[in-house]
Amino acid sequence: MRHAETDVPKRVGRVPAVLLALLAGGAHAAPPAPPVKPPPTPKRHELTVGITSLQYLASRGSTARHHTADIAYHRKLRLGQLPEAVRLGIGVRVGVPDSSTVPLEAYGRVQLVAKVGPWAPALGPEVGVSGFTRLRRSIESPSYPRGLSGALQDRMGPFYAGITLAPLRFALGPLTLSAAELQTATPLKDPGSALRLQVGLLYLGGVL
Protein backbone atom coordinates (compact mmCIF):
# COMPACT_ATOMS: atom_id res chain seq x y z
CA MET A 1 0.00 0.00 0.00
CA ARG A 2 2.83 2.35 0.79
CA HIS A 3 4.55 1.41 -2.50
CA ALA A 4 1.47 2.45 -4.50
CA GLU A 5 1.25 5.74 -2.66
CA THR A 6 4.90 6.56 -3.38
CA ASP A 7 4.38 5.92 -7.15
CA VAL A 8 1.70 8.62 -7.46
CA PRO A 9 4.12 11.58 -7.11
CA LYS A 10 6.49 9.94 -9.59
CA ARG A 11 3.74 9.59 -12.24
CA VAL A 12 2.55 13.12 -11.64
CA GLY A 13 6.10 14.36 -12.07
CA ARG A 14 6.37 12.64 -15.44
CA VAL A 15 3.39 14.53 -16.91
CA PRO A 16 5.24 17.83 -17.61
CA ALA A 17 8.08 15.89 -19.24
CA VAL A 18 5.66 14.04 -21.54
CA LEU A 19 3.92 17.29 -22.49
CA LEU A 20 7.23 18.94 -23.29
CA ALA A 21 8.23 15.98 -25.46
CA LEU A 22 4.94 16.12 -27.38
CA LEU A 23 5.28 19.86 -27.92
CA ALA A 24 8.85 19.47 -29.11
CA GLY A 25 7.85 16.69 -31.50
CA GLY A 26 4.95 18.72 -32.88
CA ALA A 27 7.19 21.71 -33.45
CA HIS A 28 9.69 19.51 -35.29
CA ALA A 29 7.01 17.90 -37.47
CA ALA A 30 5.32 21.16 -38.47
CA PRO A 31 7.76 24.05 -38.90
CA PRO A 32 6.24 27.52 -39.16
CA ALA A 33 5.10 28.45 -42.65
CA PRO A 34 7.38 30.91 -44.48
CA PRO A 35 6.00 34.41 -44.93
CA VAL A 36 3.86 34.83 -48.02
CA LYS A 37 5.49 37.07 -50.62
CA PRO A 38 3.22 39.65 -52.22
CA PRO A 39 2.62 39.15 -55.96
CA PRO A 40 4.94 41.11 -58.24
CA THR A 41 3.70 44.53 -59.28
CA PRO A 42 2.57 44.41 -62.93
CA LYS A 43 4.61 46.53 -65.33
CA ARG A 44 2.46 49.38 -66.56
CA HIS A 45 4.80 51.82 -68.30
CA GLU A 46 5.80 51.52 -71.96
CA LEU A 47 8.04 53.60 -74.22
CA THR A 48 7.70 53.19 -77.98
CA VAL A 49 9.52 54.47 -81.05
CA GLY A 50 8.27 54.04 -84.59
CA ILE A 51 8.01 55.26 -88.16
CA THR A 52 4.76 56.56 -89.63
CA SER A 53 3.46 57.78 -92.96
CA LEU A 54 0.60 60.32 -93.05
CA GLN A 55 -1.33 62.48 -95.51
CA TYR A 56 -4.41 64.74 -95.56
CA LEU A 57 -6.84 64.39 -98.47
CA ALA A 58 -9.23 67.31 -99.12
CA SER A 59 -11.94 67.70 -101.74
CA ARG A 60 -9.73 69.75 -104.09
CA GLY A 61 -6.23 68.89 -103.01
CA SER A 62 -4.03 67.08 -100.56
CA THR A 63 -0.94 67.50 -98.47
CA ALA A 64 2.35 65.90 -99.32
CA ARG A 65 2.94 62.44 -97.88
CA HIS A 66 5.03 62.85 -94.74
CA HIS A 67 7.18 60.27 -93.00
CA THR A 68 7.78 60.87 -89.32
CA ALA A 69 9.59 59.45 -86.33
CA ASP A 70 7.08 58.67 -83.56
CA ILE A 71 8.08 58.69 -79.88
CA ALA A 72 5.43 57.93 -77.24
CA TYR A 73 4.86 57.03 -73.60
CA HIS A 74 2.00 54.74 -72.58
CA ARG A 75 0.54 53.69 -69.25
CA LYS A 76 -1.57 50.56 -68.92
CA LEU A 77 -4.55 50.30 -66.57
CA ARG A 78 -5.48 46.64 -66.16
CA LEU A 79 -9.13 45.62 -66.44
CA GLY A 80 -9.41 41.84 -66.76
CA GLN A 81 -9.20 39.44 -69.67
CA LEU A 82 -11.24 40.91 -72.52
CA PRO A 83 -10.36 43.70 -72.82
CA GLU A 84 -7.22 43.14 -70.81
CA ALA A 85 -6.40 46.80 -70.22
CA VAL A 86 -6.86 50.44 -71.09
CA ARG A 87 -3.75 51.97 -72.64
CA LEU A 88 -3.25 55.71 -72.18
CA GLY A 89 -0.64 57.40 -74.32
CA ILE A 90 0.96 60.72 -75.24
CA GLY A 91 3.53 61.26 -77.96
CA VAL A 92 5.15 63.41 -80.63
CA ARG A 93 5.86 62.85 -84.32
CA VAL A 94 8.76 64.62 -85.98
CA GLY A 95 9.21 64.91 -89.74
CA VAL A 96 11.69 66.40 -92.19
CA PRO A 97 11.70 70.22 -92.14
CA ASP A 98 10.64 72.07 -95.30
CA SER A 99 9.44 75.54 -96.27
CA SER A 100 5.68 74.89 -96.03
CA THR A 101 5.12 72.82 -92.89
CA VAL A 102 5.91 72.77 -89.21
CA PRO A 103 7.25 69.21 -89.08
CA LEU A 104 5.86 68.32 -85.66
CA GLU A 105 2.78 66.73 -84.12
CA ALA A 106 1.68 66.11 -80.54
CA TYR A 107 -1.10 63.69 -79.65
CA GLY A 108 -2.90 61.81 -76.93
CA ARG A 109 -4.76 58.53 -77.22
CA VAL A 110 -6.86 56.02 -75.29
CA GLN A 111 -6.92 52.40 -76.44
CA LEU A 112 -8.56 49.17 -75.37
CA VAL A 113 -6.10 46.27 -75.45
CA ALA A 114 -7.03 42.60 -75.88
CA LYS A 115 -4.52 39.80 -75.26
CA VAL A 116 -4.46 36.27 -76.66
CA GLY A 117 -1.07 34.75 -75.98
CA PRO A 118 1.54 37.16 -77.37
CA TRP A 119 -1.04 38.84 -79.65
CA ALA A 120 -2.17 42.15 -78.08
CA PRO A 121 -4.21 44.22 -80.59
CA ALA A 122 -5.35 47.72 -79.60
CA LEU A 123 -8.11 50.07 -80.72
CA GLY A 124 -9.14 53.56 -79.62
CA PRO A 125 -9.47 57.29 -80.30
CA GLU A 126 -6.65 59.76 -80.81
CA VAL A 127 -6.66 63.57 -80.74
CA GLY A 128 -3.75 65.79 -81.65
CA VAL A 129 -2.36 68.98 -83.09
CA SER A 130 -0.48 68.75 -86.39
CA GLY A 131 1.87 70.91 -88.40
CA PHE A 132 1.49 68.72 -91.49
CA THR A 133 -1.78 70.23 -92.76
CA ARG A 134 -0.40 72.50 -95.49
CA LEU A 135 -2.11 71.69 -98.78
CA ARG A 136 0.06 71.50 -101.88
CA ARG A 137 -0.03 74.32 -104.40
CA SER A 138 -1.33 71.95 -107.07
CA ILE A 139 -4.86 72.87 -106.00
CA GLU A 140 -4.37 76.30 -107.67
CA SER A 141 -5.96 76.23 -111.11
CA PRO A 142 -7.54 78.78 -113.49
CA SER A 143 -10.78 76.78 -113.26
CA TYR A 144 -11.02 77.34 -109.48
CA PRO A 145 -12.44 80.56 -108.02
CA ARG A 146 -9.79 83.00 -106.82
CA GLY A 147 -8.91 82.51 -103.20
CA LEU A 148 -10.18 78.92 -103.08
CA SER A 149 -6.85 77.57 -101.86
CA GLY A 150 -6.89 79.91 -98.89
CA ALA A 151 -10.46 78.96 -98.02
CA LEU A 152 -9.66 75.26 -98.18
CA GLN A 153 -6.55 75.73 -96.08
CA ASP A 154 -8.47 77.66 -93.46
CA ARG A 155 -10.96 74.79 -93.10
CA MET A 156 -8.17 72.37 -92.24
CA GLY A 157 -7.09 73.77 -88.88
CA PRO A 158 -4.28 72.19 -86.83
CA PHE A 159 -6.38 69.96 -84.54
CA TYR A 160 -7.66 66.53 -85.52
CA ALA A 161 -9.49 63.55 -84.03
CA GLY A 162 -9.75 59.99 -85.23
CA ILE A 163 -9.55 56.27 -84.55
CA THR A 164 -6.37 54.20 -84.44
CA LEU A 165 -6.26 50.42 -84.92
CA ALA A 166 -3.20 48.28 -84.15
CA PRO A 167 -4.13 44.79 -85.45
CA LEU A 168 -0.57 43.42 -85.57
CA ARG A 169 0.66 44.29 -82.10
CA PHE A 170 2.52 41.67 -80.06
CA ALA A 171 3.84 41.58 -76.49
CA LEU A 172 7.04 39.52 -76.32
CA GLY A 173 8.15 39.57 -72.70
CA PRO A 174 9.37 43.11 -71.91
CA LEU A 175 9.23 44.08 -75.61
CA THR A 176 6.29 45.12 -77.76
CA LEU A 177 6.24 45.01 -81.55
CA SER A 178 3.58 46.50 -83.81
CA ALA A 179 3.26 46.91 -87.58
CA ALA A 180 0.71 48.31 -90.04
CA GLU A 181 -1.17 50.45 -87.51
CA LEU A 182 -4.02 52.29 -89.25
CA GLN A 183 -5.57 55.64 -88.44
CA THR A 184 -8.37 57.64 -90.02
CA ALA A 185 -9.11 61.14 -88.71
CA THR A 186 -10.59 64.49 -89.66
CA PRO A 187 -9.84 68.14 -88.78
CA LEU A 188 -11.78 69.33 -85.75
CA LYS A 189 -12.23 72.85 -87.12
CA ASP A 190 -14.45 71.58 -89.94
CA PRO A 191 -15.12 67.83 -89.54
CA GLY A 192 -15.38 66.11 -92.89
CA SER A 193 -13.51 68.82 -94.80
CA ALA A 194 -10.51 66.49 -95.14
CA LEU A 195 -9.55 62.92 -94.40
CA ARG A 196 -6.36 62.17 -92.54
CA LEU A 197 -4.82 58.79 -93.38
CA GLN A 198 -1.92 57.49 -91.34
CA VAL A 199 -0.05 54.19 -91.38
CA GLY A 200 2.22 53.25 -88.50
CA LEU A 201 4.80 51.27 -90.45
CA LEU A 202 6.68 49.80 -87.50
CA TYR A 203 6.80 50.34 -83.73
CA LEU A 204 9.16 48.90 -81.15
CA GLY A 205 8.46 49.34 -77.44
CA GLY A 206 9.86 48.44 -74.06
CA VAL A 207 7.81 47.78 -70.91
CA LEU A 208 9.22 49.25 -67.70
- Number of Cα atoms under 13 Å in the Cβ half of residue 58: 25
Rounded to 5°, angle at Cα 171 from 166 and 174:
135
In 3D, which of 171, 142, 147, 137 has the Cα closest to residue 64?
A: 137
Q: Render pLDDT for 156-174 as a digit per residue (tens, 0 to 9).
A: 899 999 999 999 999 999 9
Please confirm whether the linkage preceding 42 is cis (ω < 30° from 0).
no
Q: CA 188, 73, 52, 81 torsion: positive or negative? A: negative
d(CA 128, CA 154): 17
Task: Classify 126 as helix, strand or coil.
Answer: strand
Residues 6+ apart with CB under 8 A from 164: 109, 111, 122, 123, 124, 125, 126, 181, 182, 183, 198, 200
Type of residue numbered 87? R
Task: Classify 50 as helix, strand or coil.
Answer: strand
Length of the chain: 208
- The secondary structure of residue 144, as a DSSP letter, is S
The pLDDT value recorded for residue 99 is 75
Residue ranges in the chain modelled with pLDDT below 50:
1-2, 8, 27, 139
The pLDDT value recorded for residue 139 is 47
The pLDDT value recorded for residue 105 is 97
